[in-house]
C-alpha cells in the first residue's frame, strides 16, 4: 500500500519527534488538509495574518475547541508558520482548485470574548468566513 499523501508539509508524517512529550498533551484534534488550507487563507483575508498551512490547522482546531467553551473561557493558539513558503500552493488559486480545496468548509460558529486582537476581542461569527 502506498504511503498517504499530505498537502501540509510536516503534519501527518509517519514518525514521532524525540522531543515530543505526550505527558503534557491533553488532546489531539484531527483536521483535514483541505479545511486547514482554507482556514489559513481565511486568516489572511479576514485578519491580515499571512499564515501557513500548519497555522490554518492550528487555528481550525482552536476554533473547534472554542466552540465548546463558555463565554468566560479563553483559548490560546500558536500559529507555527507563515505563508511565504506557500505562495506556489496555498496562496495559488490554480493549485487550490486542482487539489480540491477552493470551496470553503462548513462554517463553525464561535464567539470569543477576551484578549487583544480582532479574533480574540469580542469576535463573533462563522469561521471560516464565507467568501
Helices within the chain (DSSP H only):
33-42, 53-66, 93-98
Q: Is the pTM of this model over 0.75?
A: no
- What architecture (CATH level 2) is domain 28-127? 3-Layer(aba) Sandwich (3.40)
pLDDT tens for each residue of 77-94: 999 999 998 888 888 888
Can you tell me the mean pLDDT for 57-63? 93
Q: For the chain, which residues make up each domain, given as ranges?
A: 28-127
Mean pLDDT of the chain: 76
In sequence order, what are the residues at sequence separation of 6 or more whose Cβ sits closer than 8 angstroms to the Cβ of residue 12? 4, 6, 33
Can you tell me the mean pLDDT for 14-30? 88
| DSSP three-state, residue 82 | strand
Amino acid at each position: 500500500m502506498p504511503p498517504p499523501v499530505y498537502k501540509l508539509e510536516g503534519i501527518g508524517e509517519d514518525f514521532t519527534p524525540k522531543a515530543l512529550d505526550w505527558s503534557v498533551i491533553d488532546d489531539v484534534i484531527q483536521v483535514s488538509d483541505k479545511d486547514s488550507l482554507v482556514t489559513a487563507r481565511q486568516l489572511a483575508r479576514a485578519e491580515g495574518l499571512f499564515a501557513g498551512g500548519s497555522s490554518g490547522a492550528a487555528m481550525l482546531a482552536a476554533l473547534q475547541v472554542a466552540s465548546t467553551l463558555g463565554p468566560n473561557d479563553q483559548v490560546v493558539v500558536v500559529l507555527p508558520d507563515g505563508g511565504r513558503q506557500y505562495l506556489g500552493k496555498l496562496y495559488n488559486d490554480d493549485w487550490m482548485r486542482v487539489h480540491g480545496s477552493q470551496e470553503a468548509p462548513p462554517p463553525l460558529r464561535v464567539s470569543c470574548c477576551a484578549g487583544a486582537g480582532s479574533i480574540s476581542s469580542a469576535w463573533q461569527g462563522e469561521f471560516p468566513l464565507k467568501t
